[in-house]
Structure 1
């Protein structure tokens, strides 16, 4: 990512590392630069922690460059959530970008579950997420929800572009790659194969030793819903990818929460 200046004069960085001691997870490393801040972590009943980064700004602005690094060391368990929906503001000619690195150690758990992203009209954003899993015992749940824009204001797919590349490695081997490139001026965003008339797209990824036991129940859950459309894929490495389209963000988030509950039930991922 280019090191162009943003409103804070440099690349904005957030680094959070969770360690484990005596069956309890603790915050081992924490550093950040403006506009990032981090609340004191919440302790969870089963020994994990929940971390909530804060943004001391109105959202993502033109020229912003961000780098986020989240790691759970061996046997640690951490959930990362956001404070509110993330707004990508209108931009004149430039763009904004973010690099995210998620690293999970042996027998460790990392949940990355930010709230939805809202790209305003004429905004441009490029995101790149790298996921590094030490081995088969490393578990990660990843969630990304993208809006069509401020639909209530008549802004449906009025942004210039929204790019999101996700790559995952296990044992240093590339096991998953998803490259979403949304250019409303070039793509028929309302058509089949894109948003199909819906307002939100949710991408869920679950990496685990063998996540195949989740497939049937997740599919049934999606098929039972009247206001969403989606599908579930089992990858060659027995990980799970879910994509869901919906028009009510609360409904979509509830479905994502229920899918996470299925993941915990089927895999024994009960640390958080």
Structure 2
């Protein structure tokens, strides 16, 4: 049997690192009757482009990615800490774009939300666009204290349709876990491998190309709130009746909305309607009409 060598591997022989790691962290605190951004940290290419007050004591922040998008092996880590009684609105400047990568080096997105007692965080991001042969491992973790409410919407595009990309990406592994205190109240995994799955089959996506999800989680969410969201979606204009959607109460303390359609804007409008209904029923707040 050959003897193990104790000779160090030359630096030139080691595999080259792939991708970069970018981090962003923000902490919100209650300042009188307003929410303030008490701490923020970011490393390139991520940054908080601006923060701005909104009505109803809410603070909004916009995240910017100053790169062309996520490249092979890139890892983005974002953490949002909302202390007791704060109310934050989080969005980004444009689509999250994921470029081609080899199977061994997917792009990785890690998001963590920590909400204190009675805090509210609404994360309403722009759509996710995976280019041809792109791969993304996306994981979101949410930790809620009693009275806290977390909402998020996400829209998935099939690729750059005008360039002939329709489900030409390699893989999307999308996971979400929500804890209320020490109790796991929601967990979901969405795994899409277009070359191995029949996405157009009946019971799957059918002829739809875009998918959207809206989540509303917290111990303030009651079963009747799902009914209010369902009613709002049932009042969509006739032009949006081609959308397919469903509203489901979570196992405990939450609700989810699923939407399928043939364009990002139509899915976004449906999710905006669901979000507005949840805000009104749960928080007694009027809809936000924010446009970047």
TM-score, normalised with respect to structure 2: 0.86
Residue 115 of structure 1 pairs with residue 94 of structure 2: no
8 Å Cα contact 1:90-1:122 kept in structure 2: yes
Report the count of equivalent residues.
266
Q: 1:257 to 1:191 in 2, by over 3 A?
A: same
Residue 57 of structure 1 pairs with residue 96 of structure 2: no
Query: Which residue of 1 is the match for residue 9 of structure 2?
Result: none
Q: In the aligned structure 2, how far is the partner of 1:73 from the partner of 1:269?
A: 21
Query: Which residue of 1 is the match for residue 12 of structure 2?
Result: none
Query: Which residue of 1 is the match for residue 206 of structure 2?
Result: 196
Q: Which protein shows a greater Rg? A: 2
Query: Which residue of 2 is the match for residue 245 of structure 1?
Result: 260
8 Å Cα contact 2:232-2:277 kept in structure 1: no
Query: Which residue of 1 is the match for residue 144 of structure 2?
Result: 133
Superposed displacement of residue 47, structure 1: 1.5
8 Å Cα contact 2:233-2:274 kept in structure 1: no
Q: In the aligned structure 2, how far is the partner of 1:270 from the partner of 1:19?
A: 20
Query: Which residue of 2 is the match for residue 30 of structure 1?
Result: 40
Residue 88 of structure 1 pairs with residue 103 of structure 2: no
TM-score, normalised with respect to structure 1: 0.92
Q: 1:74 to 1:269 in 2, by over 3 A?
A: farther
Q: Which of 164, 182, 185 is the matching residue for 1:172? A: 182
Q: In the aligned structure 2, how far is the partner of 1:223 from the partner of 1:151?
A: 29
Q: In the aligned structure 1, how far is the partner of 2:18 from the partner of 2:28?
A: 29
Root-mean-square deviation over aligned CA pairs: 1.7
SS of the equivalent of 1:80 reads strand
Superposed displacement of residue 84, structure 1: 0.7
Superposed displacement of residue 6, structure 1: 4.7
Q: Which of 71, 78, 98 is the matching residue for 2:81? A: 71
SS of the equivalent of 1:52 reads strand
Query: Could you list the runs of 5+ residues in structure 1 that have no partner in the other structure?
Result: none
